[in-house]
Amino acid sequence: MIIKSAVYKTSVSKAENILDDGIPEFAFVGRSNVGKSSLINNILGCKSLAKTSATPGKTKLVNYFDINGDMFRLVDLPGYGYAKVGKGQLDVWSGLIGKYLTQSKSLQTIFVLLDIRHEPSELDKQMINFLIYNQLPFMIIVTKADKIAKSKQINQIKKIAKALNVREEIIILSSSELSIGKDKILQYIENKI
Ligand SMILES: Nc1nc2c(ncn2[C@@H]2O[C@H](COP(=O)(O)OP(=O)(O)OP(=O)(O)O)[C@@H](O)[C@H]2O)c(=O)[nH]1
Ligand SMILES: [Mg+2]
């Protein structure tokens, strides 16, 4: 798929304002700092359409980006596991992220991002369980592949799949730094829409 245009549409802070205009959506969730906004920029070939930061907690709203007119939409979500949200407790069940995930009518797939270097956290497991419980279609993207040796990547993916009890086939390797994974993700989106 060729990205002809990528435009920031809007941001919302309340569930009442979630968009509902039928454009297919693909959302990115994961721990703060895992690389959601960076991946969106990499996929779209834009340097800083989605705001990124080395400090966790950069993305605080549901941010929508319209791609190729009304072909589809990428949704950048706030990270979890950072500050205010109580220790180890993900507010996915009651917070904005959960409301977005369960109330969006045009949501096609949720991409759950995990840092390739780490075992999934309790919060990551809660997120996956939330998606399974609510029967929401998801794929897993392991980020920052450039941070470990190529020879170790497969093993890390196997470990992550085992920890989450998911099939390895739903895991996509990525690096926004080296532009790895971008084509696979775009191909996946193209097949869905
Ligand atoms: N080496 C490397 N660094 C990355 C990669 N992706 C993101 N980063 C860095 O990780 C940090 C966090 O990236 P963001 O994209 O802002 O992370 P986020 O998940 O959107 O974070 P929040 O908005 O806080 O939830 C930044 O310093 C990025 O430069 C990658 O593929 N490789
Ligand atoms: Mg972000």
Give the pLDDT mean for 103-118. 97
- Output the six-digit token pair for 11: 């941001």
Q: How many CB atoms lie within 10 A of CB 27?
A: 24
Q: How far apart are CA 177 and CA 167, in angstroms?
A: 26
DSSP state of 121: P
Strand 25-30 to 107-115 pairing: parallel
Residue located nearest, by CA, to atom 29 of ligand 1? 54
**Binding-site residues, ligand 1, Cβ < 6 A:** 30, 32-38, 52-54, 56-59, 78-79, 143-144, 146-147, 175-177
Mutate which of 49, 52, 124 for ligand 1? The one with the most ligand atoms within 8 Å of its CB, which is 52
pLDDT digit string, tens, across residues 34-53? 999 999 999 999 888 988 88
Task: Give the CA distances from residue 157 to residues 90, 91, 116, 171, 172, in Å, rounded to whole numbers and listed in that order.
Answer: 24, 27, 7, 7, 9
* Residue spans per domain, the chain: 6-192
pLDDT digit string, tens, across residues 24-37? 999 999 998 999 99
Q: Specify the higher pLDDT residue, 58 or 147.
A: 147
Pick the CATH number of 6-192 from 1.10.357.10, 3.40.50.10420, 3.30.450.40, 3.40.50.300: 3.40.50.300
CB 34 within 8 A of CB 145: no
Indicate the pLDDT class of residue 93, thresholds 50, 70 and 90: low
Q: How far apart are CA 157 and CA 142, in angstroms?
A: 8
Indicate the pLDDT class of residue 76, thresholds 50, 70 and 90: very high
